[in-house]
Amino acid sequence: MLDICLAGTGGMKPLPDRFLTGLWLEHDGYGLLIDCGEGMQVALAKHGCKTAKMDTLLITHIHADHIAGLPGLLLTAGNGGRCGVLNIYGPKGTEKAVRSLMCITPELAFDVKITELTHHEITSFKWHDITVSALPMRHKVPCLGYRFTENRPPVFDPQRAMELGIPKMYWKLLHSGETVEHEGKTYSSKDISKEDRAPLILTYMTDTVYFDRLSEYAADSDLLICEGMYGSDEYIPKMKDKMHLVYSQAAYIAKKSASKRLWLTHYSPANENPKKYDKTVKEYFPDITISRDGERLTLK
């Protein structure tokens, strides 16, 4: 289960009525943030995201609208009594940028551990029991998307458990993946399961120009969160130059990847009414949300 809050939906610069794009995730009591542009600590506070739970920060790339809020977030966490390590992952250049920005947080009471990931191929690491894959985007600087895969236990079959004569006290343990010995026999979760369940998948992709592999990256997502700077296709040539996407390109990726839902984000400041193209984009992909700041979902 993943609690998801898109704390902001803006790109390039924060606006009085639109925070910069950043994604807040909660799983099993832990919090994870993707990107930390200027004002992110305010967006998180406004939307009730409990940063005391945060143990991990993922940076997509070293552009100010994705990282300039870091010193403020760190200091506020420190002033709030944080003492646990904060793990920061990002592309090449993250260490230098984070350490430079931390010149104004000299007395931080907790450690920051930085891991740089390659942007030449997909790499994976664990956030508790969730697998996080870093996806190479194509932007003006090294940039990563992120894919979260939560494997779920297979469907429990109580009928089968009763037939095998396994006492109820062992059912939960078995279903959680443990093995159990009972009357000289060893049972595993397979013995009491009907069928495998598909993992939960969340994919987050910004900032990038369009390329075919984006659909592979997003394959079978329960939720795809993808940038869309403008609603009109007339911006496609400009976005090729600026290395961003328009709504219809994000919708095409969602469709081709067989994603279940799509949230758009990272609107240009010049895109004053992001929802204007609501009807048009629904023709490309029905379950699309032109997200607002604070968009929420529990994926389960």
Which residues form the interface with a second copy (CB under 8 A)? 12-16, 37-39, 41-42, 45-46, 62-65, 67-69, 71-72, 75-76, 79, 96-97, 100-101, 103-105
Minimal distance in Å, beta carbon 16 to a second copy?
4
Minimal distance in Å, beta carbon 146 to a second copy?
20
Residue 23, sorted as left (phi over 0), alpha (psi -120 to 50) or beta, turns out to be beta
Annotated catalytic residue, options 17, 35, 65, 293: 65
Q: Which is nearer to a second copy, 122 or 141 (CB)?
A: 141
CA-CA distance, 271 to 11, in Å (whole number)?
10
Length of the chain in terms of residues written:
300
Q: Which is nearer to a second copy, 62 or 246 (CB)?
A: 62
Q: Which is nearer to a second copy, 106 or 237 (CB)?
A: 106
Q: Which is nearer to a second copy, 80 or 237 (CB)?
A: 80
Minimal distance in Å, beta carbon 231 to a second copy?
21
42-51 contact pairs (CB < 8 A, 24+): 43/7, 43/8, 43/19, 43/293, 44/7, 44/73, 46/7, 46/19, 46/294, 47/5, 47/7, 47/293, 47/294, 47/296, 48/5, 49/5, 49/7, 49/24, 50/26, 51/76, 51/77, 51/80
* Residue 18: closest CA among 28, 7, 29: 7
Minimal distance in Å, beta carbon 97 to a second copy?
6
* Residue 160: closest CA among 184, 187, 138: 187
CA-CA distance, 92 to 183, in Å (whole number)?
56
Cβ–Cβ under 8 Å, residues 204 and 291: no
Q: Which is nearer to a second copy, 37 or 145 (CB)?
A: 37
Minimal distance in Å, beta carbon 79 to a second copy?
7
Cβ–Cβ under 8 Å, residues 184 and 166: no
CA-CA distance, 217 to 225, in Å (whole number)?
12
Minimal distance in Å, beta carbon 14 to a second copy?
5
Cis bond upstream, residue 207 (ω within 30): yes
65 part of the active site: yes
> 156 forms bridges with which residues in the sheet?
193
Q: Which is nearer to a second copy, 102 or 219 (CB)?
A: 102
Supply the residues annotated as catalytic: 65
